[in-house]
Amino acid sequence: MRTGCADLVLNVFAPRNGPEFHRVLRPDGALLVVTPTDRHLRELRASFHLPAVDPRKEERLRRTLADRFRQACAEPLEYAMSLPPEDVARLVAMSPAAHHVDPAELHRHVGELDTSVRVTASFVVSVYRPAVH
């Protein structure tokens, strides 16, 4: 991408490259970052060996971006989802732990679910603006 061509950079549950985000954003652009809280998917952690979310994740995020961005706002959001077994399987398969889960074990465990599972979605949506140097 060209330098200074983006109005918005969206980063959802992914590693952050502050210098590159800053390079492509216009001076009046925004970086929108979505990060999980330590309550995200808590109901699935033990059963599916999902990793815990670092409770200091937001602090690390701010520190990572501090030299090029200033935080404009942050909004925590949390809600319950009722997921049928096939959606639980899809969710686990796209998680960071997916490469640690044996597909046969995942299939077996999901097959044991006879009803929908209540799962918590919990995350913070933060807006950052490029810092003026």
- The answer as to whether 29 is a domain residue is yes
- The answer as to whether 1 is a domain residue is no
**CATH number of the domain within which 120 lies:** 3.40.50.150
**Alpha-carbon dihedral sign for residues 37, 40, 44, 48:** negative
Q: Which domain holds residue 103?
A: 6-130
- Global pTM reads 0.85
Q: In sequence order, what are the residues at sequence separation of 6 or more whose Cβ sits closer than 8 angstroms to the Cβ of residue 108? A: none
- The answer as to whether 17 is a domain residue is yes
- The answer as to whether 42 is a domain residue is yes
- The answer as to whether 56 is a domain residue is yes
Total tally of structural domains belonging to the chain: 1
Per-residue pLDDT tens digits for 67-92: 999 999 999 999 999 999 999 989 88
Per-residue pLDDT tens digits for 89-121: 898 888 877 777 778 888 888 888 888 999 999
Q: What is the pLDDT of residue 76?
A: 96
Question: Residue 93 and residue 87: Cα distance in Å, rounded?
Answer: 10
